[in-house]
Amino acid sequence: MNSAVDHAVPAGQRIGVLGGGQLGRMLGLAGIPLGFRFVFLDPAADACASAAGQLLRADFSDTSAARKLAGLVDVATFDFENVPETTARALEETCPLYPASNALGASQDRLAEKDLLCQLGIAVPAYYPVSSRTDLLEGLDRLGYPAVLKTRRLGYDGKGQAVLRDQEDLERAWQKLGDCDLILEEFVAFEAECSLIAVRAQQGETRYWPLTQNVHSNGILALSLPGVFNEALQAEAENQMRKLLDHFDYCGVLTMEFFLWKGYLLVNEIAPRVHNSGHWTIDGAACSQFENHVRAIAGLPLGDSSMTGYSLMFNWIGEMPDQKKLMAVPGLHWHDYGKTARPGRKIGHATLTAASRSQLEDNARRIAEIEGGEFSALLEILNKGDHGFHD
Ligand code: AMP
């Protein structure tokens, strides 16, 4: 369905989304003002995107539900990459899906993803496929300790992975993960983590947001700070992104996550969708990743991806903040996902916007004072490198 289509979807028409989480919700919130209506397919009765449209309750493996969704909408997309490729293909038979199922498939298997990146000449950490204990020992021989053992499929937010520092870690990790197909990666002692988010229209027009520094806590994104890397690094990241966008003849938003190591960019993973590290674009960029994704898949002209000032995003994971205290901080934009709080669950984020870096820094400290220890520690990580708050 996707080949050489110029598929302009008129306002008032419907957009289908495989997945009804907070990313789907924010796509809906961005697309509604443009005149679109949304239908989300998700198994959860309380899928939080349902606040922004109709919910079609079905399992992600239910291909007949995907075909039903195709009949209800004019164009479709997805809000997470673990939708089975067969479901995406079933939908694609009768409805344009952007990005197409080829990009979805490539991002679902860490080994296939890394093989593809290598083929395209994009640098990744050294890796070794593991489907037996012998493979693991061979891999460790080659890569040495420390190393990171990950499941090839269905891992996210640091789930399905373990850092191996010695033989004891190896035994523990093998007990936990040994049943799955795995990949062993060298442990990268990175200077910083960052991501590039791009959007490509049906006819190839492409926009890039500024590289964003990301800080993770227990494998989950905790803080994003855009606009702190120099032009050379931005150009290098865009160059790598372009190879991937062209390879897939991609339409929509694509994210690349990098380790910055000795001044080089190594790709950790790609996500064929809007991304948590781009949430700041709602309040801090002329056109957000969500609006531009909707524009791209609907065949509309893309919006300006430049920053409108300084901004920084904090995630709230597992526990809601004291909203009243938080919202007293100048320049703070609170985004509540309408989800029940649970340990390890992303339930909201806040973007701080400011006219100067020092103002941004002052207000970020105010948030850290309200929220306490861990938030201060996150800011400390930014301050350590050359790529943090200091120009
Ligand atoms: P992932 O699920 O692959 O995005 O991993 C979650 C986080 O774990 C990353 O953002 C890094 O902070 C850390 N991590 C993953 N792989 C590696 C690696 N090969 N070396 C060092 N840290 C890693």
Are 176 and 322 found together in one domain? no
Do residues 68 and 164 both lie within one domain?
no
- Number of domains composing the chain: 3
C-alpha of residue 161 to centroid of ligand 1, in Å:
9
Crossing angle of helices 357-371 and 373-384, rounded to 10°: 150
Name the residue with tokens 């190879």: 243
| HSE-CB of 334 using CA atoms within 13 angstroms | 16
Rounded to the nearest angstrom, the distance between the alpha carbon of 346 and the centre of ligand 1 is 18
Query: Range of 255's domain?
Result: 192-381
For ligand 1, the distance from its centroid to the CA atom of residue 156, given in whole angstroms, is 10
Give the CA count within 13 Å in the CB-facing half-sphere of 357: 10
pTM score, whole prediction: 0.94
* 60 domain residue, yes or no: yes
Q: Are the C-beta atoms of 272 and 278 separated by less than 8 Å?
A: no
pLDDT of residue 81: 87
> Which of 113, 148, 159, 261 best tests ligand 1's pocket when mutated (most atoms within 8 Å of CB)?
148
Do 166 and 315 have their domain in common?
Answer: no
Going from the Cα of 328 to the center of ligand 1, the distance in angstroms, rounded, reads 34
User: Closest ligand 1 atom to the C-alpha of 150?
Assistant: 3
Tell which of 186, 209, 238 closes a domain.
Answer: 186
Specify the long-range contacts of residues 120-123, CB closer than 8 Å, at least 24 apart: 120/243, 120/244, 120/247, 121/243, 122/240, 122/243, 122/244, 122/267, 123/240, 123/264, 123/265, 123/266, 123/267
For residue 148, which atom of ligand 1 is closest to its CA? 19
- Indicate whether residue 187 lines ligand 1 (CB < 6 A): yes
Q: Is the peptide bond before 210 cis (omega within 30 degrees of 0)?
A: no
Q: Which of 114, 130, 164, 268 gets mutated to test ligand 1 (max ligand atoms within 8 A of its CB)?
A: 268
- Gap between the Cα atoms of 367 and 56, Å rounded: 38
Classify residue 247: in a domain, yes or no: yes
Distance 127 CA to ligand 1 centre (A): 13
Structure tokens of 181?
A: 């197909």
- 155 CB under 6 A from ligand 1? yes
**Amino acid, single-letter form, for residue 386:** D
- Token readout for 195 is 């991501």
Q: Name the one residue in this structure whose structure tokens are 């640091």.
A: 158
At 373 the pLDDT is: 75
Q: In the prediction, which pLDDT does 382 show?
A: 81
- For residue 177, give Cα distances in angstroms to 136, 153, 170, 212, 344: 12, 12, 10, 31, 20
CA distance 212 to 179: 35
Kindly state whether residue 120 falls inside one of the protein's structural domains.
no
Are the C-beta atoms of 294 and 255 separated by less than 8 Å?
A: no
Same domain, 85 and 210: no
Q: Using an 8 Å Cβ cutoff, are 306 and 286 in contact?
A: yes
Same-domain status, 175 and 255: no
Quick one: which H or E segment has residue 164?
strand 161-164
DSSP calls for 182-251: EEEEEPP--SEEEEEEEEE-TTS-EEEPPPEEEEEETTEEEEEEES-S-HHHHHHHHHHHHHHHHHHT--
130 near 184, Cβ under 8 Å? yes
Ligand 1 atom 8 nearest Cα: 219
Length of the chain counted residue by residue: 391
- Helices assigned H by DSSP within the chain: 22-31, 63-72, 85-92, 101-107, 110-119, 133-143, 167-177, 231-248, 281-284, 289-297, 323-326, 357-371, 373-384
CA of 186 relative to ligand 1 center, distance in Å: 10
User: Residue 85's domain is classified under what CATH number?
Assistant: 3.40.50.20
| Ligand 1 atom at minimal distance to the Cα of residue 221 | 10
Atom of ligand 1 nearest to the CA of 155: 2
Q: Which atom of ligand 1 is nearest to the CA of 185?
A: 19
Residue with tokens 């080089």: 264
Question: Does 268 contact ligand 1 (Cβ within 6 A)?
Answer: yes
Ligand 1 atom nearest to CA at 268? 3
Q: How many CB atoms lie within 10 A of CB 296?
A: 27
Residue nearest atom 1 in ligand 1 by C-alpha distance: 158
Please give the distance, rounded to the nearest whole angstrom, from the Cα atom of residue 49 to the centre of ligand 1: 28
Q: How far is CA 307 from CA 58, 228, 288, 364, 379, in A?
A: 38, 12, 10, 18, 21
Q: Do 311 and 207 have their domain in common?
A: yes
Residue 341 lies in a domain: yes
- Say whether both 235 and 215 belong to one domain: yes
pLDDT at 383 (0 to 100): 61
- Is 193 near ligand 1, meaning CB less than 6 Å away? yes
d(CA 380, CA 366): 14
CATH number at residue 324: 3.30.470.20
* Cβ of 95 below 6 Å from ligand 1: no
Asked if 74 and 140 sit in the same domain, the reply is no
Q: Quick one: tokens of 172?
A: 């523990």
Asked if residue 296 is part of any domain, the answer here is: yes
Q: For residue 7, what pLDDT is reported?
A: 59
Whether residues 231 and 153 fall in one domain: no
Which atom, in ligand 1's list, is nearest to the CA of 190?
21
**Residue that is last in its domain, among 141, 163, 186:** 186
pLDDT of the chain, 391 residues: tens digit per residue: 444 344 566 666 999 999 999 999 999 999 999 999 999 999 999 999 999 999 999 999 999 999 999 999 999 999 988 899 999 999 999 999 999 999 998 899 999 999 999 999 999 999 999 999 999 999 999 999 999 999 999 866 667 899 999 999 999 999 999 889 999 999 999 999 999 999 999 999 999 999 999 999 988 999 999 999 999 999 999 999 999 999 999 999 999 999 999 889 999 999 999 999 999 999 999 999 999 999 999 999 999 999 999 999 999 999 999 999 999 999 999 999 999 999 989 999 999 999 999 999 999 999 999 998 788 888 888 865 555 443 3
